[in-house]
Chains A and B, each alone.
Chain A
Amino acid sequence: MPVSLRYVVLRLLQIVPTFILIMVVMFVLVRLLPGDPTSALLGERATDEAVARINAQLGLDKPIPVQFVIFLENFFRGDLGDSIVNKTSVLGLVLNRLPVTLFLTALASLLSVAMAVPLAFVAALRHGSAADSIIRSAFQVGLSTPVFYLGILLLTLFAAHLRWFPVGGYGETLADKLYHLFLPALTLALSLSAVLMRNLRNSIVEVLQAEYVDFARAKGLKARIVLGKHVLRNAVIPTVTLLGLNIGTLLGGAVITETVFAVPGAGRLMIEAIFGRDYPVILGLTMALALLVSLVFLVTDLVQAALDPRVSA
């Protein structure tokens, strides 16, 4: 297996400079945006006196480099500061909301794969036929329907009318959470699976024409083994990369899905933080996401290396 420990450690170390760069750039960038958190928070009731006083209390009147130094001091003590809007610790918020998004993303990925893989095979094995066209068109619908509309549709039909699922929200026990997250995960999976399915189908079609497949068949190997061991293993490589990239995007937060289904995820937290100029939350969440996404890409590359002997790690 061409994956070495050295490679993994090297890749992990590579995350560090990326992380630092993101931290510095985001810290400065958010403070350059027009507006400030205090006047955004106080809105119509903001007076110059109140804004100045509260900004001073938050340390926002200090020059940016000074603010950054203070931030670093706290960071190395494990303190990401307090959310200006929510008045509670940023670390607490991130630890509360990020796992929800992780859960939703994982579920959505599993569902996408479960829908995409078998149907990609069917479409590819019968490529050019009516079955192929039907499958591809069906998935196209999922891809082109706006997430907002899809979500409300599923919610109205399966939750409000058929009562098979709760109308949005997030459960309490693990099983309850899975139950609440099924519909939002399905909403995301409907478009993600379409992307995966197309890619995998085309990839399988290509692989089926390869010489080694003919050879395997000529050797008399069972179809199951030919398809499973030879075809799938090779065809899935580009799709794995695609899945990895999409997971990275999903982790950034499926804001619309989270809003429609009232799921307390990181996507909504990020959008609200940006709209409220909640600097500590924007920074804390960005750093956490940068870490996560880097890890996802690392895992994707490792899986790819494991599948593809031509890639050495």
Chain B
Amino acid sequence: MKKLIGALFSIALALAVALPAAAATKGGKLVYARYADSLLLDPVFNDANVDIWILTNLYDTLFLPTDDGKDVQPGLATAYQASDDGMSYTITLRQGVKFADGTPMTADDVKWSLDRAANPKNGIWGFLLASVDSVAVSAPDTITIKLKQPDPVLIKALATFNAAILPMKAYEAAAGATDEEKAKTFAEHPIGTGPFKFVSWERNVTMKLVRNENYWRKDAAGQQLPYLDEIDFVTIPDDATRILKLQAGEVDGAEFIPYARVAELKADPNLDMQLWPSTKVNYLTLNVRPTFKDGSKNPMSDGRVRQAMNYAIDKDALIKIVTFDVAKPMTSFMSSSTPYVSGNGPAFPFDQAKAKALLADAGFADGLDVTCLALAGSADETAILSTVQQMWSQVGIRLKIEQVDNPTRTAKYRAGDFQMRVAGWTDDIADPNEIVSYFAYSPNIESLHSGWEDKKVNGLFEASMKEMDAGKRQAQYKEIQDIYMAAPPIIPLYESPYPVAFRKSVKGFVQIPLGNNIFVGASVEK
């Protein structure tokens, strides 16, 4: 079976990458307005989406995500073969790949990059490669990865940003005593095998990339990629200003269009308002412990109260009010773009009567009081909570809103010193293991610090980390979701797409559900 997969991958190579075969104009510059600037252009030591989401333009991974983000295709590796016991993978590397500085990529670079990424002391993403025991160069075009346990997600992990391949020699030559310091120095002038080459970076103003003339990838018609000569990332933090710049034609694309402006931009004949499916979910996290930090009884420790809270919210109305109908309801705690998501229809359809009955059952016929932590100054959170407050008042739940700044909220949250909070999440890997480990697997972060613990779910998760049979694994994740959503320690609100707008002349931009902005196939047509 594994040999067959390996063979299929070789065939996939011949078909090259899945890109539009329609002839795209080569050349041109694209100016893209971002809401915030990158912080550290290093795959291993970064800790923010602002870095992750553009790293794929500078660096490649052994396997690349497909455009729908759910699967992988060949990248710097052309084929792989797993041993029968699943404990060892032999990966064939693509030949003739050069880094942006012209030096050839070797198996040593690959081994070094993966060792660095898998080291738990380096940055916060090591857990994605936790199953890796050793990486060895077995031939100039082959590396062998030995695992500590079978890992059904290894190949997907090798398609995730932190497993990008860096030039070992250039990196080690960078100034700095520790690995972290070297990472900072190297990241000021990063060198990768990606479609674009780094040119310059004026922090918070502009970052310039140009075409990597040595790039290995060709489109379906055989034309070398990327199409663009140059990309300019500019930082425009204010939403209104960013859109004004796009409408004036000073930038060709703008990310994070506010929900309230989506309809307006859709109607603009000069613009292409794109809504990309995402793994972004918005929810309210509940504290489910028997008492709060101050010792007072916690009504939400009763599952019926939590269910009532869910039933009492008209999610469709909330989506209309807060997101102007741009977002969608959720069937589970995971987004519909996360593999193995389950659930029949929207979770907890609006039912005020049921909510009241559940509350009465739990002994709260007279209602209850609860306080929610909100991010001060966040228009979205204010909109969500005032809507929820209004809806809950109909069933006797009196919601108080406490606005705090981000670090204060994070401190209270991590200490379990909160009643409720508004929260959001995007996946970093195209697999449900990450979201489950944070949301439902209590040994990690006490299930989003809610204090929720289900031993069955914990057992299922641990088993799923080693389960090689896709069918069985899917069943495990279904059961986890069933148990979780019956509890539930959160109130899923909606999943929202990535709203990006471009001038009509821009084609071929892709944003995968994980968030990565992919410009390799982008072009500017006359």
Name A residues whose Cβ lies closer than 8 Å to a Cβ of B: 33-37, 39-48, 50-51, 53-54, 57, 82, 85-88, 93, 96-97, 152, 155-156, 159-160, 163, 166-170, 259-262, 264, 268, 275-277
Contacts and interface: CB of A to CB of B under 8 A. Distances in A.
Contacts of B48: 41
B405 A159 contact: no
Given A45-B438, A264-B204, A167 B406 contact: no
A155 B239 CA distance: 13
B407 A277 contact: yes
Given A88-B184, A156-B244, A35 B407 contact: yes
A53 B121 contact: yes
B240 interface: yes
A96 B47 CA distance: 23
Interface in B166-215: 180, 184, 187-188, 202-205
* Pairs of residues from A and B, 4 with the lowest C-beta to C-beta distance, nearest first: A35-B407, A40-B407, A264-B204, A35-B411
Nearest to A42: B47
A221 B40 CA distance: 67
Contacts of A54: 124
Contacts of B39: 85-87
Contact of B241 (A46, A97, A155): A155
Contacts of B241: 152, 155, 167-168, 260-262
Contacts, number: 120
Contacts of B235: 262, 264
Bin the interface of chain B by size: 35 or more
A199 to B, nearest CB: 32
B112 interface: no
Interface in B348-399: none
Contacts of B237: 259, 262, 268
Contacts of A37: 407
Nearest to A277: B407
Interface stretch (B131-139, B245-253, B456-464, B508-516): B245-253
Nearest to A171: B205
29 contacts: A33-B407, A35-B405, A35-B407, A35-B408, A35-B410, A41-B48, A43-B406, A46-B410, A47-B445, A51-B414, A57-B180, A82-B184, A86-B39, A87-B40, A87-B187, A88-B188, A96-B203, A152-B241, A159-B244, A160-B245, A167-B245, A167-B248, A167-B250, A169-B234, A259-B237, A260-B240, A262-B238, A264-B205, A268-B204
A34 B184 contact: no
A136 to B, nearest CB: 31
B224 interface: no
Given A44-B423, A155-B241, A168-B245, A88 B407 contact: no
A276 B250 contact: no
Residue with the greatest number of chain B CB neighbours at <10 A, chosen from A37, A48, A86:
A86
A160 B184 contact: no
A259 to B, nearest CB: 5
A244 to B, nearest CB: 29
A170 B37 CA distance: 14
Contact of B244 (A41, A51, A155, A259): A155
